[in-house]
């Protein structure tokens, strides 16, 4: 079942899969996403989907969309091009029905993987951070939101900028 959580100009459509228990509350995760969308900045008002799932679903999505075998911690599915985000970018002018929002994309996180990475000291994207599962989940959700907004880490400079913004947002 999906629950919509409103934070400022953003609606976060949260779907927690059956059997998944999050170490961090839905409203708090929505605030994490809103902070990332505000920082980029994203065109708004808009919506974004957040699915809290497990390794099995992430492995299936990883194989289908990335061609990679095995689970991953987070996948993002952006719907807008990267140039749709940033200071001075006008809100898209395409007509929409009243009281609707532009949908930016979706984030799918393996809570199972977040807990495992945090508890085993393989968290923090560097693979050597031991912290709470809630902190790891916050990082993964922030990371996923930035990917939806066109941020990437394929090149060293991009990675440095993305990691710096993540650290600032997680403060």
pLDDT digits (tens, 9 = 90+) for 79-93: 999 999 987 666 665
Exposure string of 1-34, with b = 16+ CB inside 10 Å and e = fewer, is eeeebebeebbbbbbbeeebebebebeebbbbbb
Q: Which domain holds residue 145?
A: 2-170
The CATH number linked to 144 is 3.40.390.30
pTM for the full model? 0.91
The number of domains in the chain is 1
Q: Give which of 10, 27, 3, 7 is closest to 104, Cα–Cα.
A: 10
Cα separation of 145 and 79, whole Å?
12
pLDDT of amino acid 94: 61
CB neighbours (10 Å) of residue 112? 21
In terms of residues, how long is the chain?
Answer: 171
> pLDDT at position 54, please?
97
Q: What is the pLDDT of residues 120-148, one digit of tens each?
A: 877 776 667 778 999 999 999 999 999 99
Torsion over CA of 152, 163, 110 and 23, rounded to 10 degrees?
Answer: -150
Grouping H, G, I as helix, E, B as strand and the rest as coil, residue 102 is strand
The predicted pLDDT at position 140 comes to: 96
Residues contacting 30, CB < 8 A, separation 6+: 5, 6, 7, 10, 12, 14, 50
């Amino acid at each position: 079942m999906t629950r919509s959580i409103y934070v400022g100009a953003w609606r976060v459509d949260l779907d927690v899969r059956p059997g998944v228990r999050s170490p961090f509350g839905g409203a708090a995760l929505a605030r994490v996403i809103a902070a990332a969308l505000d920082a980029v900045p994203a065109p708004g008002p808009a919506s974004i989907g957040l699915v809290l799932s497990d390794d099995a679903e992430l492995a299936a999505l990883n194989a289908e969309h990335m061609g990679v075998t095995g689970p991953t911690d987070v996948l993002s599915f952006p719907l807008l091009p990267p140039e749709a985000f940033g200071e001075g970018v006008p809100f898209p002018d395409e007509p929409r029905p009243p009281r609707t929002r532009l949908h930016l994309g979706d984030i799918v996180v393996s809570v199972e993987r977040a807990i495992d990475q945090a508890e085993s000291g393989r968290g923090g994207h560097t693979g050597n951070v031991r912290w709470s599962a809630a902190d790891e989940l916050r990082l993964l959700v922030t990371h996923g939101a930035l990917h939806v907004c066109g941020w990437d880490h394929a090149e060293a400079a991009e990675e440095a900028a993305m990691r710096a913004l993540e650290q600032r947002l997680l403060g």
